[in-house]
Amino acid sequence: MNQFKLLLGLPAVILMAACGPTEQATVNEAPAVQEEAPGAVATNCPKADESGVVEIQEGLTAMITRKGYGRAAKSKDYADVHTTLWLYDEAAEGGRGQEIWASGGVDPFQFQLDAGQVIKGWDLGVNCMLLGEKRELKIASELGYGARGKPPVPPNATLLFEIELVNLTSP
């Protein structure tokens, strides 16, 4: 009788031992697995410093004003954003000079990352953003509209965008 109980109990113990820690590890490791899964992101994303500033590259900085969640944007994703553009003015409060454009309304502005649909500063600055994240991108002229400008943006203008990432779609 004891052998019969042992035979019935042994598979249950083995199953619990095999499943228990693995399930717990999967739950605890979900963000890491998510980042490596297809459609997730983003390798080599620069990290924010203690004040929320991300130095993306020379001429492009981001200030994270609201942390995001979920996966990060990556190349070829379709990003839906709400945005406002100001001409950067060091003397103005928060650097927000003349307001140029806002997406406004209910419908966000959509573009595909790294498809040449937006200025280079956006492709670089939205890459690695998390869903729900809000950041201010300070974009030097060479990553914006450059020496030609694009009316109403004057030539050689430094730009300040507030961007909120509201949706990501994989291609």
Whether residues 142 and 82 share a domain: the answer is yes
Whether residues 59 and 142 share a domain: the answer is yes
Whether residue 104 is predicted with pLDDT greater than 50 in this model: the reply is: yes
CA–CA separation, 104 vs 91, rounded Å? 26
**Domain-located, residue 128:** yes
Q: Which residues span the domain enclosing 130?
A: 53-169
Whether residues 28 and 109 share a domain: the answer is no
- Predicted confidence band at 42 (pLDDT cuts at 50, 70, 90)? low
Whether residues 117 and 163 share a domain: the answer is yes
CA–CA separation, 143 vs 124, rounded Å? 9
CATH number, position 110: 3.10.50.40
**Domain-located, residue 25:** yes
- Predicted confidence band at 13 (pLDDT cuts at 50, 70, 90)? very low
The fraction of the chain above a pLDDT of 90, given in percent, is 69
The fraction of the chain above a pLDDT of 70, given in percent, is 75
Whether residues 78 and 161 share a domain: the answer is yes
- Predicted confidence band at 106 (pLDDT cuts at 50, 70, 90)? confident
Whether residue 19 is predicted with pLDDT greater than 50 in this model: the reply is: no
Tell me the DSSP string of 50-112. TTSEEEEETTEEEEEEE--EEEEP-TT-EEEEEEEEEEE-TTSGGGEEEEEEE--SSSPEEEE
Whether residues 16 and 58 share a domain: the answer is no
Whether residue 153 is predicted with pLDDT greater than 50 in this model: the reply is: yes
| Number of structural domains the chain divides into | 2
Alpha-carbon dihedral of residues 94, 100, 103, 105, nearest 10 degrees? 90
Whether residues 162 and 82 share a domain: the answer is yes
Overall average pLDDT of the 109-135 stretch: 97
- Predicted confidence band at 96 (pLDDT cuts at 50, 70, 90)? very high
pTM (predicted TM-score): 0.74
**Domain-located, residue 147:** yes
**Domain-located, residue 47:** no
Task: Write out the two tokens for 140.
Answer: 């030097």
Whether residues 72 and 156 share a domain: the answer is yes
Whether residues 103 and 150 share a domain: the answer is yes
Q: Would you state the pLDDT for residue 43?
A: 59
Average pLDDT for the chain = 80
CA–CA separation, 131 vs 73, rounded Å? 8
